[in-house]
Amino acid sequence: MRKLWTKAGVLGSVSMAFGSMFWSQKKTETTQTGSTTACTEPPSPYELKLVQVLFRHGARTPLKSIPDVMEAQWVPNLLEPPAHTHINYVVTDLEGGPRPSSPVEDSYRANILSGGTYPGQLTTVGMQQLYELGERLRKRYIKDTAFLNPTFSPTEVYVRSTNIVRTIESAKCLVAGLFQQSQSDMVSILTTEAESEILYPNYHGCRLLKHLSGHRWAESSTLPDIAADLRSIQSALGIAAHQRVDFILIRDDMVARETHGLPCPPILDSWRNTVEQRAVEMICHIYEPSKRENLQLCVGPLFHTLMGNIEDHLKGTTSESNRKLFLYSAHDTTLMPCLMALGVFDMQWPPYAADITLELHQHRQTKEAFVKVSYIGKDQLIPGCSGVYCPLQEFKQAFSNYSLTSELYESLCNRTEDMADP
């Protein structure tokens, strides 16, 4: 049995599953004459109104290589974009102006991996993964339900990304798969400067979050069980004692290599499960889901935005009345605290191209609103919800435990009084 985080911080139910899909299946029935004919499924009592997809970027080059071990060759041809992922797009700030500078991307480009490429770059494999996620969404929302127009329209689809090349390119590839490169207009991918980003826990933009959690990254490697295993794997791999490594770094390089068919140190085969387990335990220590305030500061503004999109749609107050789909291109460090806050984290690291999908439905007869959450295509029962189709008020209550308005978030982030030393 997998251990799961509950909202109380106790291990409860979770799995990165937010990409709800209903795969229509053809059924047959035998008529009185003995012939077999396809029967039509009864229409769902729920009418789909709005979809929001929060997804991780695709496979990439590692952020750092494991030191003192055989290096993989990250050559440029691993980054060639497939022709079918091409679309006409532009990257802007949130107001449609020039794309902001990206200090995170600049930091990647200050280093070069063995083979000649930069760390953290989307690869051909990763591009294809997002294209295939787009195709999966196409089946659900265009082919099976005709919810979306088969041609991209900016009035219908909103695309937002963190200001990092791999997430921008991932958004582009998903849109290419979703609409099969058919577009009525330029695709605008909106982003913002690092200091105000809400699509990941922002340690640079939120002083209180940095104070509460910043030290916990280094601290997580010193926890007794983790530290003992880390010493053992360093010794097994022949990594010098002075080298700074942790299980998250080891996992990142290991998974990147395996995904691209590049050689791994053979000794890692016997350590794979331990590496996965310890990396997730480190993340849980860093985000500290048992403390509500920490998760609030990680996901609060994002949760407020997602709920705001739902409420605006229901009230009809949005200026974009035809908007049906919001796409948010982000990171594993986005999805994990979101899953923890929703009470459905399954203690498994989100794979490349994992998605959390929120669907807003309206009951055709009662007109009551419902929200359905899925993770990697699997529907989730959110704690506090009476069913997978969660009545809006129940969902709002579950969301409100962690949602923060931008004003409250800013106020909390700048709070310095009573800050005890961590």
- Catalytic residues, by residue number, are 57, 332
SS (H, E, C) the chain: CCCCCCCCCCCCCCCCCECCCCCCCCEEEECCCCCEEEECCCCCCEEEEEEEEEEECCCECCCCCCCCCCCCCCCHHHHCCCHHHCCCEEEECCCCCECCCCHHHHHHCCCCCCCCCCCCCECHHHHHHHHHHHHHHHHHHHHCCCCCCCCECCCCEEEEECCCHHHHHHHHHHHHHHHCCCECCCEEEECCCHHHCCCCCCCCCCHHHHHHHCCHHHHHCCCHHHHHHHHHHHHHHCCCCCCCCCHHHHHHHHHHHHHCCCCCCHHHHHHHHHHHHHHHHHHHHHHCCCCHHHHHHHHHHHHHHHHHHHHHHHHCCCCCCCCCEEEEEECHHHHHHHHHHHCCCCCCCCCCCCEEEEEEEEECCCCCEEEEEEECCEEECCCCCCCCCEEHHHHHHHHHCCCCCHHHHHHHHCCCCCCCCC
Q: Is 219 left (phi over 0), alpha (psi -120 to 50) or beta?
A: alpha
For residue 55, what are the contacts with CB-CB under 8 A and spacing of at least 6?
19, 130, 133, 170, 174, 327, 328, 329, 330, 353, 354, 355, 356
d(CA 240, CA 257): 21
Which residue in the block uniquely carries the two structure tokens 């609409």? 179
**How far does the chain reach from its first CA to its final CA, in angstroms?**
34
Sequence letter at residue 219: E
Task: Please state whether beta strands 187-190 and 157-161 pair in parallel, antiparallel, or not at all (unpaired).
Answer: parallel
**Which residues lie across from 357 on neighbouring strands?**
374
d(CA 302, CA 304): 5
